[in-house]
Structure 1
Amino acid sequence: MSDSTVTGATAPEQVHEAAPAPAGQPAPAGQPATTGRRLLRATGATVAAALVGVVIGIGVIETRYDDPAPVIAAAPTAVAPAPSATPTPFGAKSNGNHFGSLRDLLLPVPAGYALGPDEGGYGNDAELSADQLSAELDDDLQQIPKEKREKLRQYWEGLHVKATGVRTYKERGNSLVIGLKLRQFNQQEVQKLNEYTAVFTGDTGLFRIGPEVPGHPEAHCYLMPAPPSAPIDYLECSAAEGDLLVIMSAEGVAPLPKDKIVTLFTQQLDRLASPGASV
């Protein structure tokens, strides 16, 4: 994809997010130095997305999925609202493609957490529509050199992007903020991007190796470069689950509670298990 790489292009998450606070600058006691605009920053998985310019995380186009009949997911339990006897109209089909609202597929707010800060202009609990993001894609492509725009548009259309869901979470003690994104597009491209991200973040030496995610070998976590004395730390996890690229960003007071973060990421991936969604 080297001929479609855009030199100097802004990575997808960076299009809408402010730069992080300078390293080493202290945050208010007990609170991460974060804003909604940089919660889901251009790191890890989004570095890989930069290979295709801005398109992977910006727009949504409608696509047709010719799949077998869906398997209806069981009503959520545990961290979800009280169970219902009526099956929940979301889950995974037998071929791994997901159906239903991405807001339903996103992990419900667990005990001890509340909805977090806004993620850019998307709010803190949203599914991004085709109309909204297609218009945004058109705007952002104007930042790309003219001779590259058509290649990026063609690549975007080949991804068969369907939707993007966003939810943020804030620990009630205000020491940890987590963002989750579900990006729904062609399964093969989801897998390729996730594999590339694993190689990029593991082999370049730019990132610190993060914790493993038990039961999910396709998932990988990595920490951002930071001096040992930095008061705030950042961790990102990525995984491919069928037609969903799952990205979790965590920002909080150092040292991060990695076990707690991995537990939430595991719960999100288990919720997307195929066939059917579960908590």
Structure 2
Amino acid sequence: MSKFLSYLKTKSFRNNLFAAIFTVIAILFIAFFSLRYYTKHGQGLNVPALKGLQFTQAVEKLEALGLRYEVDSVYMMDQPPGMVIDQDPNAQTFVKDNRTIYLTINTSQAPNVKFPDIEFKSLREVQSLLEGFGLKVGDTSYKADVSRDVVLEASFGGNAIKAGDILPKGSRIDLVLGDGFGNEEVDIPNLIGLTRDEARFSLKGSNLNLGQITYLGEITDSANAVIIMQTPMQSDTLTQVKKGTLVDVILSNQPYQPVIPND
């Protein structure tokens, strides 16, 4: 032990100790600056805004900055073909040189999708289902059926379609829905002498609807104008119509005078 303590006091030990400390510092210094050089610490650039540009314009910007790119595509019917829809990383993100930027481009040709099974589903359910397949609801019409707002038929371009048919993505699908009334018939109410609001209330109670409203002569107060004619009107040959039928009316501000047959 005494020899070891004596060695610690020698000049040789001090020289070796200083050399070891210097070597460790030198290694750390070289490693630190080598890492900074390798990672280009503090060097880079901000990603340019590419959304909304045509693909060729976006590529020119990226190549001028020394950035690489990869491309994916989607189809959006309401956007111009070849336009950049999305980018990753986003604009103004700080990145290193030679970083890959991922672009999503709107393709010019709509991909095909299989038409889903929508028969006898509710309109709300069908809207969500079609949207999930990249399709849209077009015109809707109604036909007599006991189901209300349930899809009975579907067509594209005037042709009937069924589940499994191949359609371009983004297509608008026309639907025929049930009116909820079926073929059940109700008595035709007499609306003569009623105002517009009174007629609407009366028709609602009979599961009928107010159709075209026409005013006859000078109208000074439409709220108090009364019905002088209706179509359809109850007669010896017609007493009932299907539920949901539209009843057209003609109104006038002239006082209603019922026709009394002569004896």
Q: TM-score if structure 2 supplies the norm length?
A: 0.18
Q: Which structure features the higher share of helix residues?
A: 1
Q: Which structure features the higher share of strand residues?
A: 2
| Structure of larger gyration radius | 2
Work out which structure has the larger RCO, using CA pairs closer than 8 Å and 6 or more positions apart in sequence.
Answer: 1
